[in-house]
Amino acid sequence: MTKATKLLTALPPAQRQRLMTLAREVSFPEDTRIFEPDGVADRFWVIRSGAVSLDQRVSTLQRVTVASLGSGDLLGWSWLFPPHRWDFGAEAFSPVRAYEFEAEPVLALCEEDPGLGMTLVRTVAEILAHRLETTRGQLMEQYSLRRRSS
């Protein structure tokens, strides 16, 4: 399995500095819903401290955690791809501090600086590939456990 990529450390220093000019510090108390599936994805966060659970609703009463994110992790990628709607929900599992970035100014910066835009898209793609690989491994493990118990 590949190592998890952290957005801010993956960017070269000059590009990271340009992106950070658009950041604002935010915090979420424990148990705060940060976003819901199908909501408008118009921002993203880089977690500074704390933990966030990504979840998928499986019934009107039940959510299943699909990933846990922590310090340095990217929270939210749907802002980058049409139709710009959240695919999952997110909840603060503990008190969270994060850098928040609004999508529109980040996308404008990427248009202005195509090198930054390409690096940002590639880095987000690496993050998504790693998360997909991790999820695949978890599914295979669960499948294997089910087959052994039946």
Q: What is the pTM of this model?
A: 0.87
> Which tokens go with 84?
């710009």
pLDDT digit string (tens) for 39-70?
999 999 999 999 999 998 888 888 888 889 99
Per-residue pLDDT at 20 exceeds 80? yes
User: pLDDT (tens digit, 9 = 90+) per residue, 81-99?
Assistant: 999 999 999 999 999 999 9
Please, what's the b/e burial string for 34-49 (b: 16 or more CB within 10 A of its CB; e: otherwise)? bbeeeeebebbbbbbe
Nearest partner of 42 among 84, 7, 73, judged by Cα:
84
